[in-house]
Amino acid sequence: MADVQALIDIMARLRDPERGCPWDVKQDFASIAPYTVEEAYEVADAVQRGDMADLRDELGDLLLQVVFHARMAEEAGHFAFADVVDAISEKMLRRHPHVFGDATVEDADAQTVAWEEHKRQERLARGDADTSVLAGIARGLPEWQRAVKLQKRAATVGFDWPGPAPVIAKLHEEIEEVRVEFDALAAGDAAARDRLEDELGDVLFVVANLTRHGKVDFGAALRRANHKFERRFRRMEAMAAAEGTTLAGQSLDAQDAYWNRAKAEEKAG
């Protein structure tokens, strides 16, 4: 706690209007929120890379974001860091009666259902007029993450495919609908642009559902794909440079040849 208090004191000094840092002093909740989201993603990236030293640093950056928000709230008379700790501690005790009370749950899936029911009861206790099973899913989430949460909530009342096979079939169906709209766009149908956006959204929504059925994290899967593309593309650039040329200006076939070489190297290694 002494270490945490030291961080709280550092933030208080940074926010001091007379002796603090001008950048820190001028910030507010809205300006800091994007940094909070960014730091959370950097934590996830460190986890995926298995870099524990980096994870330590990124967790510190994320903790700083919590302290920053709490300090601004304290200055405005809303709450302090200690209130944040008390609130989450009380919530964890309340939502885990199978650990801290006499309740029982069969497994992790049953606990997920129980967790959502706890949240629903809390919303009712607050007088929330929205009684939908989808209530309380934040609109500020990345849309892919919100898609997964919507699907998980719907599944708690049985609205879900029984397994991945029908999801894959649905994906093929949606991809065909995307092809139709691309053809319509190529034929000069200006209204196809809006329909294409709608159909591509359906494809992404089904893909999110497929990751859920495969118990694969959508964000982690996409980060892995991004890392793979970046790694191979940089290798393509290195190959071209070693041959005294660049990728720019080369035909797509020539660039594909570099890609296939980079891919083959990875598989061989």
Kindly report the CATH number assigned to the domain that includes residue 35: 1.10.287.1080
Same-domain status, 163 and 185: yes
Domain range for 112 is 102-131
Same-domain status, 29 and 66: yes
Same-domain status, 211 and 231: no
pLDDT (0 to 100) of residue 130: 81
Residue 51 and residue 56: Cα distance in Å, rounded? Answer: 9
Mean pLDDT by 10 residues, the chain (269 residues): 92 96 97 93 90 96 98 97 96 91 85 81 79 85 91 91 96 97 96 96 97 92 92 96 94 96 91
Same-domain status, 185 and 264: no
Same-domain status, 59 and 107: no
Query: Which residues have C-beta within 8 Å of that of residue 45, sequence separation ≥ 6?
Result: 58, 223
Q: Which amino acid is at 25?
A: V
pLDDT (0 to 100) of residue 118: 82
Same-domain status, 127 and 138: no
Same-domain status, 119 and 146: no
Query: Of 200, 216, 232, which marks where a domain is finished?
Result: 216
Counting the structural domains of the chain, the total is 4
Query: Of 46, 68, 95, which marks where a domain is finished?
Result: 95
Exposure class string for 212-229: b at 16+ Cβ within 10 A, else e = bbeeebbbeeebeeeeee
pLDDT (0 to 100) of residue 207: 97
Residue 160 DSSP one-character state: S
Same-domain status, 152 and 114: no
